[in-house]
Amino acid sequence: MGIFITLEGIDGSGKTTAADLIAGSLREAGYRVLLTQEPTGAYLGTVVKDIVIGRDSGKNIDLSFLKTLSKKTVSIMALFLFSADRIVHLDEISIKLNDFDVILCDRFIDSTYAYQAVYPNGKNDKSFEELILTINDFVLRQKNVEINRTYLFDLKPEDALKRLNGRLGKFDGFDSEPLDFFERVRTNYIYLADRFKSRIKKIDASAPAKDTAALIVKDIIKLINTLY
């Protein structure tokens, strides 16, 4: 039985680059590693990218209906769309945990909280935030999958923006002020790290990706040795 690790952080935090490095180092050390991500590359994942993130997957989905929706509706819709992609993904993850030593997932349930809990117009809605956590938990329990550890790549939004080099167009779907949006996503992540201390390790992501990756690889190997 393998271990399930998730990587989280705001866009530009360097986690995707680090994910490749971590997977490479673990493979060199002889571990069987599956690197995966959310939104997935499967059908629902690409639909989510089209509808929520505003990417064009070439599916020619008519997105004109989005224009008539309130921001609140879009937030709630996003919660269910990401969760739908996730439950299908979990079918695969639960099976593949038998074949791999480590499954490394670039974004998972904490992204849904961090991003979708950024409620429209700067308002907070505790009941919506708790609903997201309940759905996240419910979805995981359906497949009896447990996250063994989550690494939160923590970085100031200003620094993340510099790394993104103008890739901000991707936030069209969230329809937010970029910096303010990142600030709130980061705050949500830090809240989760405080709330789920035993699962989430906050990492200073301002270091070069290869240093951060090396630190995580060491920690994962230690975790495997503790568990097995």
- Smallest separation (angstroms) from ligand TYD to the CB of 162: 16
What phi and psi values does residue 197 have, to the nearest 5 degrees?
-55, -40
The identity of residue 30, as a single letter, is: G
Closest alpha carbon to 11 in 124, 132, 159, 128: 159
Q: Considering only the stretches 56-64, 107-115, 151-159, 219-227, report the one whose residues sit in contact with ligand TYD under the rule CB under 6 A.
A: 107-115
Contact status: 36 vs ligand TYD (CB under 6 A): no
Site string for ligand TYD, 52-81 (x = CB under 6 A): -x----------------------------
Residue 38 within binding range of ligand TYD, rule CB under 6 A: yes
108 within 8 A of 86, measured Cβ to Cβ = yes
Helices (H), ranges, the chain: 15-28, 43-48, 71-96, 109-116, 126-142, 157-164, 178-195, 209-227
Q: Which amino acid would we find at residue 212? A: T
Closest to 8 in 3D by CA, of 104, 101, 88 = 104
Q: Which residue is nearest to ligand TYD (CB)?
A: 115
Q: Work out how close the CB of 11 gets to ligand TYD at its nearest, in angstroms, rounded to a whole number.
A: 4
From residue 30, how far is each of 27, 48, 52, 105, 212 by CA, in Å? Answer: 5, 35, 38, 19, 20
107 contacts ligand TYD (rule: CB under 6 A): yes
**Scanning residues 7 to 26, which ones bind ligand TYD (CB under 6 A)?**
11, 16
In the complex with ligand TYD, which residue's Cβ is closer, 25 or 111?
111
Site string for ligand TYD, 114-133 (x = CB under 6 A): -xx-----------------
Among 112, 148, 150, 188, contact with ligand TYD (rule: CB under 6 A):
112
Instruction: Give yes or no for residue 154 binding ligand TYD (CB under 6 A).
Output: no
Is residue 186 involved in binding ligand TYD (CB under 6 A)? no
Residues lying near ligand TYD in the complex (CB under 6 A) are found at 11, 16, 38-39, 53, 82, 106-107, 111-112, 115-116
